[in-house]
Amino acid sequence: MLSVEGLTKRFDSVVAVDDVDLELRPGEIHGLIGPNGAGKTTTVNLITGELSPTEGTIEFEGEDLVGLSPSTIARQGIGRSFQVVQYFPEMTVRKHLRLAVRDTTRTVRSVFDRDADYSEEIRQVAERVHLEDELDTVARNLSHGQKRFLDIALVLAMDSKVILFDEPAAGLNESETAEVREILEELRGDYAILIVEHDIDLVRAISDRITVLHNGSVLTTDTPENVVQNPQVREVYLGE
Amino acid sequence: MSDTMADVREYARGTARRPLLALGVLLVLAVPFLAPSQADLATEALIFGLFAISVDVALGYAGLLTLAPAAFFGVGSYTVAKFVVDYDLSFWLGFPAAVILAVLLAVAVGYIPIKRRIGHVYFVLFTLAFGAIMHDFTFVTTWLTGGSDGLGFFSPPSVFGIDLGGQMEYYYFSLALVALVGFGIYRLIKSDYGDVLHATRQNQLRMRYLGYDTDRELMIAWVLSAAVSAFAGAIYVGSVGIASPSDISFALTGDVIIWIIVGGTGTLLGPFAAAVGLLFTQELLQNLWQGGYRLLLGLLFVVFVFTLPDGLMGFVRDDE
- pLDDT exceeds 90 at position B230: yes
What pLDDT is stored for residue A35 in this prediction? 87
Q: Is the minimum CB–CB distance between B249 and chain A shorter than 8 Å?
A: no
Question: In what order do the strands lie in the sheet containing A63-64?
Answer: A14-24, A2-11, A55-60, A63-64
DSSP letters along A118-146, please?
Answer: -HHHHHHHHHHTT-GGGTTSBGGGS-HHH
- A75 CB neighbours in chain B (<8 A) are 211
Cβ distance of B220 and A110 shorter than 8 Å: no
B17-38 as b/e, with b when 16 or more CB fall inside 10 Å?
Answer: eeeeeeeeeeebeebbeeeeeb
Inter-chain residue contact B192 with A116, CB threshold 8 Å: yes
Instruction: Report the C-alpha dihedral over residues A144, A146, A147, A149, rounded to 10 degrees.
Output: 130
In 3D space, the residue among B183, B179, B224, B269 whose CA is nearest the CA of residue B54 turns out to be B224
Q: How confident is the model at residue A238 (pLDDT cuts 50, 70, 90)?
A: low
How does strand A162-166 pair with strand A78-80? parallel
* Average of per-residue pLDDT across B97-118: 93
Chain A nearest C-alpha distance from B195 (Å): 8
Contact B268, B181 (CB under 8 A): no
Q: Which residues of B touch A110 (CB under 8 A)?
A: 191-193, 196
Q: What pLDDT was estimated at residue B1?
A: 52
Is residue A214 within 8 A of residue A38, CB to CB? The reply is yes
pLDDT tier for residue B264 given thresholds of 50, 70 and 90: very high
- Its pTM stands at 0.91
Spatial CB neighbours of B267, under 8 Å, sequence gap ≥ 6: B56, B60, B311, B313, B314, B317
Cβ proximity of B212 and A107 under 8 Å: yes
**Strand duo B162-163 + B158-159: pairing:** antiparallel
ipTM of predicted complex: 0.92
Question: Across the interface, do A91 and B193 touch by the CB < 8 Å criterion?
Answer: no
Q: Which of residues 36 through 55 in chain A touch B, CB cutoff 8 A?
A: 48
Which residues neighbour A104 within 8 Å (Cβ) at sequence distance 6 or greater?
A: A71, A74, A75, B210, B211, B212, B213
Average pLDDT estimate for A18-25: 94
B191 touches chain A (CB under 8 A): yes
User: Which residues touch B55 (CB under 8 Å, ≥6 apart)?
Assistant: B66, B69, B225, B229, B256, B257, B260, B271
Cross-chain CB nearest to A88 (options B202, B208, B319): B202
Residues 106-125 of A with CB under 8 A from B: 107-108, 110-111, 113-114, 116
Mean pLDDT of B261-276: 95
Residues 78-137 of B with CB under 8 A from A: none
Q: Rounded to whole angstroms, how far apart are CA atoms B14 and B8?
A: 10
Q: Do A88 and B203 touch (CB under 8 A)?
A: yes
Instruction: Determine the Cα–Cα distance for residues A152 and A136; give it in Å rounded to an integer.
Output: 17
pLDDT tens digits, B119-171: 789 999 999 999 999 999 999 999 999 999 999 899 999 988 899 999 999 99
Amino acid B168 reads M
Q: Do B220 and A107 touch (CB under 8 A)?
A: yes
Q: Are B124 and B65 in contact (CB under 8 A)?
A: yes
What are B243's strand-pairing partners? Answer: B151
